[in-house]
């Protein structure tokens, strides 16, 4: 009989890569959503919050372009401008987007409850903390400064503008690995509130944890989420869990506050010889 042998990583988790908006700060991922609506309004086309959120997680220029490709938005654009949106329109809207986003970012910097506690526990297990984001470096400088004031300081932050292609490509995750000095990919866990962010982790070959309630999928600030009646809350929760599971996320939880049992479970799975 002839056998081949497969190599398995059974060591410790070495890095957790956290997304920013909707994962560690800006509950509901409000800051970009609000500005996308505004930018389209300036271009003469009204879009809904749901349309504004559809491609969330992508590089912000790619995001504006993807919104323009939604059938409903294309139709409205055609009606208003008598032609489909083109590259020039996307450039113009992205140029509008940058200062508007920079101006309001600092208003959406509160940490999502559980962030600091999770980071403390992660570090206690000698795991490094990296991060990825669809924001540009210029925007991140504001967020990093505000986050540091609130006690959150990941050891590495890679922005959409630091790599040739952002989500769902895996390059931001890979750059984090280099900056943190960790390997192999199976020793890393990517945590995100958006589907492109989960795909980013899967494309990198990492373990993934989807956050259903704190980010883009439900899209509500914490105080509004708390005000929901039980039936609405359950409906939104089930929809978000379903979408993230179908996207391939290994685990789905409500928010970063529930992360540590997941990390410990992944560690057990690695030790059993399982791979992402």
258 lies in the site for Mg ion, by CB under 5 A: no
Which residue lies nearer to Mg ion by CB, 22 or 210? 22
Which residue lies nearer to Mg ion by CB, 40 or 108? 108
The site for Mg ion, by CB under 5 A, has a size of 4
| Nearest distance from C-beta of residue 64 to Mg ion, angstroms | 17
60 is a catalytic site residue: yes
19 is a catalytic site residue: yes
Site mask, Mg ion, residues 190-209, x = CB under 5 A?
A: ---x----------------
26 lies in the site for Mg ion, by CB under 5 A: no
From 38, 41, 60, 89, the catalytic residue: 60
| Nearest distance from C-beta of residue 37 to Mg ion, angstroms | 17
Site residues for Mg ion, 115-174, by CB under 5 A, read none
The single residue among 17, 19, 64, 158 that binds Mg ion, judged by CB under 5 A, is 19
From 19, 192, 193, 258, the catalytic residue: 19
| Of 6, 1, 5, 25, residue with least CA distance to 274 | 6
Site mask, Mg ion, residues 216-245, x = CB under 5 A?
A: ------------------------------
Q: Which stretches of the chain bind Mg ion, using CB under 5 A?
A: 19, 21-22, 193
Q: Catalytic positions, please?
A: 19, 60
């Amino acid at each position: 009989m002839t056998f081949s042998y497969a190599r398995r990583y059974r060591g410790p988790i070495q890095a957790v890569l956290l997304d920013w908006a909707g994962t560690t700060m800006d509950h509901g991922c409000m800051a970009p959503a609000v500005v996308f609506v505004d930018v389209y309004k300036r271009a003469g086309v009204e879009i809904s919050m749901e349309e504004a959120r559809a491609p969330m997680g992508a590089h912000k220029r790619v995001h504006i372009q993807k919104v323009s490709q939604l059938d409903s938005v294309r139709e409205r654009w055609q009606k208003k401008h008598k032609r489909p949106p083109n590259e020039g329109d996307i450039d113009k809207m992205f140029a509008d987007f940058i200062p508007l986003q920079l101006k309001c970012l600092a208003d959406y910097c509160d940490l999502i409850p559980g962030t600091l506690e999770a980071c403390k526990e992660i570090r206690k297990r000698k795991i490094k903390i990296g991060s990825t984001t669809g924001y540009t470096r210029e925007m991140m400088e504001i967020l990093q400064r505000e986050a540091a004031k609130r006690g959150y300081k990941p050891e590495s932050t890679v922005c959409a503008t630091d790599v040739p292609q952002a989500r769902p490509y895996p390059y931001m995750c890979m750059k984090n690995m280099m900056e943190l000095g960790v390997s192999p990919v199976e020793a890393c866990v990517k945590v995100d509130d958006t589907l492109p962010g989960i795909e980013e982790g899967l494309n990198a070959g990492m373990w993934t944890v989807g956050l259903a309630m704190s980010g883009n999928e439900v899209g509500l600030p914490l105080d509004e989420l708390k005000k929901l009646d039980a039936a609405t809350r359950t409906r939104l929760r089930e929809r978000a869990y379903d979408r993230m599971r179908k996207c391939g996320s290994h685990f789905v939880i409500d928010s970063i506050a529930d992360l540590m049992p997941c990390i410990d479970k992944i560690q057990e799975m690695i030790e059993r010889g399982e791979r992402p």
